[in-house]
Structure 1
Amino acid sequence: MLGFFRVTPIHEFASYAHWRHQFMQRRLRLGILFGLFYFVTFLPLDTLTYLTDGHDPFVLLWIITNLARMALLLLCLWLIRKQNYRPRQIIAVFLLASWSISLLHRFHETYTGLATNTPIAEPDLFSWALSFITQATLVPVSWPLHLISQLGVIVYYFGVNSLLGLQVVTPGLPAASLLLNTFWICCICNCSVYFYEKLSRANFATNRQLLEAQEKSERLLLNILPRPIAEQLKQGPDIIAESFAEVTVLFADIVNFTQLTETQPAANIVDLLNQVFSRFDQLAESHGLEKIKTIGDAYMVAAGLPQPQANHAAAVAAMAVKMQETLAEFNAQTNQNISLRIGIHTGPVVAGVIGLKKFAYDLWGDTVNTASRMESHGIPNGIQISEATYQRLQACDDRYQFRQRGPIVIKGKGRMVTYLLEPCATDVDIDQAVTQS
């Protein structure tokens, strides 16, 4: 039964109506089961009374009435369990369950009064109050449905019994008192359901807004930090730092960007960078790389962190090639003439998050400096890689060809042997070259 009290996360529901429908299904099932348990507990007692009181036919009728109630409640339970349950069926199931509990009792009173040729028994306001309040508490469907359920009982009691000639008001209970008690029983139940509905709707809207704000914050955090780092940061304010024995770092820089800013409006420059770097962001995600940051017109990504990656050098090389191809497509589409320098190096780094405000995931170490030098000492539209990256690509990847460049003087590093990485010509490229010639 604990499953009936299970709270389903709000984000699983597309709307309040959807959540309300699922909630009412569970609460209807709970209310029906309570009704079944109620009648089952009284059944042995009623049976014993029937057997010990000389087989009173009216006691037998009461037992049959309760068995009919239980059968109708089981039918309601079956309807709720049906596949492809429709929201409108809640109305029929609720009224059937409600009247099987409250109205069948009135049928029994009517039959008893007719069979004994005596006025109907004094109306049992206690059972009415218990029935209506229990339904309003366990199954708070919309208040008009509760009103219909209550009116069905009241109209039957006063209308049908009066038409059959049965007395509906006893001398000990004035009509005004009976009507006033009935009114307040119904009023309290329906007002409770009405205010519960308002509170429930407001609570759903508030929780939805909080959830959307939380999801938005989560997306913003994941745009700043890798997911594992973001999870660590949410656990506590401890320093986040980790050493990686080997990763591959890529720097890319737009050639002559400073001169470009002097000839273009600021809005155009920002829009241009946004378009280019947005394309690079998509490439980084598709190749499984971690974007580290942008600095002006420089773009930095890395592979092999924060999660280790066996083919980090190959992943970065593949992205570098796609970056050059993507920029060429961008130039053709926008009539620009932008060129890119790319530098790549492989080695150990330290990674972590520093600062209290505007924090970011960053890398430190000679590997980062060397990758930056590979870019700054590179050539336009070229991909310059270090000896370390060359050794890893040359040993396991035949998709590229390498042209040795150097040794060249690298600022802060001295003379270094570097390589220019180019994709190998495919059969399609060769056929196109032959056709063009």
Structure 2
Amino acid sequence: MMTNINAVRTQLEAIVGPEVFDFETNENFAESYREQRKVFLLSRMKLQAKLMIIIGLTLTAFFVWVNEGIPQKIHAFKIGLLIEFFIILCWFLCKNPLARRYPQMIFLSLCWSATCAIQIDTAILFNYVEPLTNIWNLMFITQATIIPVQWRIHLISQVGTIVCYLGLCVVYRPTFKFPIAHYIEQGIYLFWTAIICVFSVYLYEKLKKKEFRAKRELEIAQEQSEKLLLNILPAVIAKQLKLQPTTIADIFHEVTVLFADIVGFTELSSHTSPPELVELLNQIFCLFDELAERHGIEKIKTIGDAYMAVAGLPNYQSDHALAIANMALDMQKAMIEFNQQNNLSFQIRVGISTGPVVAGVIGLKKFAYDLWGDTVNTASRMESHGIPDNIQICEATYQLLKDKYLLEKRGLIKIKGKGEMMTYLLHGRKMSDIG
């Protein structure tokens, strides 16, 4: 799996840049990882609080039962009740919005409610300052297994427990009941328990970070591949192709097709370097892409310095002819502005045709969404037999635009492969329809 991720990562770095995948220094990655761990920390603390409530009630009942004498039973009950109060308080704090900001404080409170609080209570009530290492060990191991998040706060909770106990020793100056060797033995057990717990949490966190990084790399790779796919195919077709990887060919009974060609670009290529030529063409086609996006038109492809687009597919569009007409007029304006900004004199020749087409994806490699049919051929002929700086349309398109646009009858012209055809020139929208 990691080999595949690394391969995808290498390919995508070449496209979007290596800085996107530099997770060690990427602030977005660090923030999203911290947020994910906070959610995990809170959910696990809620679970541990519930377990501690159940265990606390059980132990309280046990100590009340085993202690002899009413005063001792009352003291045991008070200690158990106080500890349960702290645990329940931590449980409610886990559900508070502030818990998302300061989960570490709740973690420490939950730990110390079962270590420091018990030690302090027994010292106050019974003047008993013997180290409760069994409870400490149980708490450290429980937190390391249930809440293995951020080894540093595990270490702080352990150190805090020891510091609390040493503070009580300074205040009460206890007389120890067992030989010093007993406490050394208990201290060694406690030390290694703490080290193992902290180290296991450290290793677990390191593993989770690697898993999170791999998951994010895979998600980003999928997002980038999805974007690349949607730049090649319409969203509907991309989804259909993923679900059914076979030939896709759909009949659309009425769409409007546009062909645009940059007049003078071929002549310019003879005395302009290829990089400069490509940069100019890219700037122009990017303007056309923005117009297609604005008018809800599907770009099909570019062929050299020719641009092909269609309205009315893959999703039905009732005003397909109007959308293409508006885009064609805006393309003329965009070309004028481009010439003024770059001190050039390009002209654009546009051809438009309306009718049925077949659209789809064919072949096994290098998928491309394309159109076929007489309507496509006619639109291409309208462009190639057109006039520079003019938009030439066929009879079918004229019938859809005549009520809202300024049109000039050009007359019958001889079209290669189709004979004579009646054509019209689109000059603009009628004043009553502007705005």
Q: Same fold (TM over 0.5)?
A: yes
TM-score range, shorter chain: 0.7 to 0.9
Q: Measure how far apart 1:228 and its partner are.
A: 1.0
The aligned counterpart of 2:260 is 252
State the identity as a percent: 47
Match of 1:106, SS?
A: helix
Cα distance, 1:384–1:368 mapped onto 2, change above 3 Å: same
Q: Measure how far apart 1:72 and its partner are.
A: 2.1
Cα distance, 1:178–1:168 mapped onto 2, change above 3 Å: farther
Q: Measure how far apart 1:419 and its partner are.
A: 0.8
Q: Measure how far apart 1:210 and its partner are.
A: 2.2
The aligned counterpart of 2:311 is 303
Q: Does 1:93 align with 2:98?
A: no
Q: What pairs up with 1:16-415 in 2 under 5 angstroms?
A: 16-40=30-54, 42-43=56-57, 46-47=60-61, 50=64, 56-83=70-97, 87=101, 89-111=102-124, 113-114=126-127, 123-161=131-169, 163-168=171-176, 170-171=178-179, 174-394=182-402, 397-398=403-404, 400-415=405-420
* Mapped partners of 1:293, 1:410: distance in 2: 23
Q: Which amino acid aligns with 1:258?
A: T
Q: Measure how far apart 1:81 and its partner are.
A: 3.3
Maintained 8 Å contact 1:16/1:201? no
Q: Measure how far apart 1:169 and its partner are.
A: 6.5
Cα distance, 1:166–1:260 mapped onto 2, change above 3 Å: same
Maintained 8 Å contact 2:144/2:201? yes
Q: Measure how far apart 1:148 and its partner are.
A: 1.7
Q: Measure how far apart 1:73 and its partner are.
A: 2.8
* Mapped partners of 2:197, 2:66: distance in 1: 39
Q: Does 1:417 align with 2:431?
A: no
* Mapped partners of 1:323, 1:120: distance in 2: 87
Maintained 8 Å contact 2:255/2:357? yes
> After alignment, is 160-169 or 260-269 more displaced?
160-169
> TM-score normalized by structure 1?
0.85
> TM-score normalized by structure 2?
0.85
Q: Measure how far apart 1:171 and its partner are.
A: 4.0
Q: Measure how far apart 1:124 and its partner are.
A: 4.7
Gaps of 5+ in 2: 1-26
Gaps of 5+ in 1: 1-12, 430-437
- Over residues 178-221 of structure 1, what are the superposed CA-to-partner deviations in whole Å (9 max), with x where a residue is unaligned? 12101111001110121222222233332222222222211111
Q: Which amino acid aligns with 1:142?
A: Q
Match of 1:327, SS?
A: helix
- Over residues 24-78 of structure 1, what are the superposed CA-to-partner deviations in whole Å (9 max), with x where a residue is unaligned? 2442343244334433455367458747977633333233223222322333334
Q: Measure how far apart 1:168 and its partner are.
A: 4.9
**Aligned Cα RMSD in Å?**
2.6
* Mapped partners of 2:197, 2:275: distance in 1: 63
> After alignment, is 186-195 or 255-264 more displaced?
255-264
* Mapped partners of 2:236, 2:389: distance in 1: 34
Q: What pairs up with 1:425-436 in 2 under 5 angstroms?
A: 426=431
- Over residues 300-341 of structure 1, what are the superposed CA-to-partner deviations in whole Å (9 max), with x where a residue is unaligned? 000111111111111001000000110011111111111111
* Mapped partners of 1:65, 1:24: distance in 2: 31
Match of 1:405, SS?
A: strand
Match of 2:251, SS?
A: strand
